[in-house]
Structure 1
Amino acid sequence: MIFKKTITILTIVSMLFVTTSCTKKEAESEVKVKVNDTVITVEQFDKAYNDYKAMYEEQYGENIWEQEMEEGKTFQQYLEDTVLETLILEVILVEEAEKEGIEVTQEEIDKELKTYKDVFGNEEKFSDFLKNKDITEDFLVETIKRELLITKFLNIKSAYINDIEPTDEQLLALFDKNKDSFTQIRASHILVETEEEAEQVKKRLDDGENFEELAKEVSICPSAEKGGDLDYFYFNEMAYEFSAVAFKMQLGEISNPVKSDYGYHIIKLTDKKDTFKSVDREQLVYQFKAKEYNDFLDKYIKKSKIEK
């Protein structure tokens, strides 16, 4: 959706376990960014980025990196930006928590450490994990402390946001400024492997064959059993190439073949929710609160000295 920092903050806990602690003095490695008096090195950034890169490749495959996340930006560029932003936010939030006297008890740290060890089942597997990550248990303890500081700080500072009940006027203003982000469409598609197959499918549709029946016959997507129906979705919930075409279509229109990393799609637009009354109100409320949350984060980011 439209507010990136909210997503970034949700990744901080996992990021803390793949990064190397940012230090006040780090002369042995090239500086990537300096946040107030804290240095984040190129080495630290690369480690965090490479760990996340490996995680995404394992889940989505190696071809993910050239996919467009948004117009003009690949997934690789998006991840690079997100990792750096997360590292910067981690430094800022830890510093702010310490300034306000927020403390983490040894009991809280021990409890979290035990929970983390329990994931591995036994000490041997836990030790292997530390070796593979090239970190010590002391480092992990410090990381847990930082995680708990951030969690406490965010819980305290953002508690009031959960109680906000935005008015219709506030939600309408948000919708008007971000209409494209809130628009949902419903579409069906027929997915085939080759361009030649896609052209044949398009010809059969042009000759009057039923879209839903043809989808059941030839589509290689699991949606085939539902006549190709994909239900409602937002722009960024589908491959960029797919959404870039689908969101410009008229109701009932059938597209020409659209190429993506999954194959070739023939798309049919079946419904569109693009008015204030038709969009998901819960999503509007969520994004309103997300904006309030981002404004809260921006306050701390803007008063920090960030040198790239």
Structure 2
Amino acid sequence: MKKWLGTRWLGAVGVAVLLGQAAPARAELVDRVAAVVNRDIITLSEVEKRAAPELARVGRDAEARERVLKQALDTLIGEKLMEEQIQELGLAVTDSELEAAVSDVKRQNNITDEAQFDRLLSGEGFSVAAYKEFLRKQMSRMKLVQMKVSTKVKVSEEDLKAAYTQYNKLESEDAEVHARHILVQVDAKATPAQVETAHKKALVLAQEARQPGVDFAELAKAKSEGPSASDGGDLGFFRRGVMVPAFERVAFALQEGEVSEPVRTQFGWHVLKVEEKRAVNVAPFEQVKAELESRLKLQKTEKYVEQYVQELRQKASVETKI
């Protein structure tokens, strides 16, 4: 679903819980308030939901968990402030715009019927209605970004040449990796206990894979729960920027023949083995110019969005409680 998930400031937003019930219920809700943004509330459960993948990755490290929760809260505060601007400026997404975007998502993912669409969304933890709400909010924020930020984003020829110099240096030092993996699937709605059970299973598989004489490919065929199991978990050769970041970081850090500790992604826990590394040829400037330009525009857009959100935050009443 990489084609349609948003960037840091353009992600989904949870539903705010409004206070105003009887005193005991109000006290319970107040305990769960993470921040108050002007008159809107962000609950702790919203923050934990947004931070869930990263919380699973850092495990029980208290300092890391606190950092992850703060980052998630900052993101939600930024989105809340942007939503207020969207309402004030009348930048709501129409039903026709939303349906056109949904059709585009289906086309990009080669979806031909609603049942297939339902399955795809379910795998990402969405119902159709929830995904449409997610997409509507994402598109509204895109309208705001285009109005307030996009006009500031300029990429010069000098910027591109400097980026290519860096790209050339990194690519010439880098390599392609041929890896295999064993996947222990984790449902998008799994409880922490279920995540931990899957983790323990992956730890056992990693230990087994390191035993002398064990054929990793055969072990993957027998134990992996991913679609590549029939091929012995073979992922072929890949370069940086292809796999999800957590997976990629480990794959490029391993030596040839080395087996990783379990790595968590949105699909579950992976045990990786690097079969081979090889040098890559660097593409010429003209061939990668368009890609570099898109990357620089995205980087500059994210920087300006962060500045814009900070300006909104300075003018707003924001009270954090965690």
Q: Which of the numbers 303, 309, 317 marks the counterpart of 1:301?
A: 309
TM-score (ref. length: structure 1): 0.52
Q: Answer whether contact 2:259 2:271 (CA < 8 A) is retained.
A: no
TM-score (norm 2): 0.50
Aligned counterparts of 2:271 and 2:304: Cα–Cα separation in 1: 43
Q: 1:257 touches 1:266 (CA, 8 Å); kept in 2? A: yes
- Any idea what SS the aligned residue of 1:48 has? helix
Distance (whole Å) between structure 2 residues aligned to residue 217 and residue 281 of structure 1: 41
Give the Cα separation in 1 of the matches to 2:43 and 2:271: 37
Q: 1:154 aligns with which of 145, 150, 159?
A: 145
* 1:255 and 2:233 are equivalent in the alignment: no
Give the letter for the 2:234 counterpart: D
CA distance in 1, matches of 2:234, 2:15: 39
Paired residue type of 1:288: L
Cross-structure match for 1:168: 160
Residue matched to 2:110: none
Say which SS state the counterpart of residue 189 (structure 1) adopts: strand
CA distance in 2, matches of 1:216, 1:34: 48
Query: Counterpart in 1 of 2:274?
Result: 267
Aligned to 1:49: 47
The correspondence for 2:293, drawn from 271, 276, 285, is 285
**Using a 3 Å threshold, how does the CA distance of structure 1 residues 263 and 197 change in structure 2: closer, same or farther?**
farther
The 1-side partners of 2:86 and 2:146 are apart by 11
Contact 2:47 2:76 in 1 (8 A): no
Q: 2:16 aligns with which of 7, 15, 19?
A: 19
State the superposition RMSD in angstroms: 5.5
- Is the 2:35–2:319 contact (alpha carbons within 8 Å) kept by the matching residues of 1? yes
User: Deviation digits for residues 230-284 of structure 1, max 9, x if unmatched?
Assistant: 24254794584x655431345xx21146444636443223346596869976654
- The structure number with the bigger radius of gyration is 1
1:132 counterpart residue number: none
> CA–CA distance in 2 between the matches of 1:277 and 1:82?
38
Contact preservation (8 Å) 1:188, 1:227: no
Distance in 1 separating the partners of 2:260 and 2:55 = 23
Amino acid of the residue matched to residue 198 of structure 1? A
Match of 1:246 in 2: 251
1:84 and 2:84 matched: no
Would the aligned equivalents of 2:228 and 2:235 in 1 still touch at CA under 8 Å? yes
CA spacing shift, 1:46–1:156, aligned 2, 3 Å: same
The 1:109/1:164 distance shift into structure 2, 3 A limit, reads same
Partner SS for 1:295: helix
Give the superposition deviation at 1:288. Answer: 0.9
* Alignment partner, residue 103 of structure 1: 90
CA contact (8 A) 1:184 1:273 kept: yes
CA contact 1:103–1:149 (8 Å) conserved in 2: no
Aligned: 1:10 with 2:15: no
Q: Could you tell me how far apart the structure 2 residues matched to 1:195 and 1:248 are?
A: 16
Q: Deviations over 1:76-121 (max 9, x none)?
A: 66763454223221343245557xx73358xx76878999xxxxxx
Distance 1:288 1:20, change over 3 A: farther
Work out the percentage of aligned pairs sharing the same amino acid: 16
Number of residue pairs the alignment of both structures matches: 241
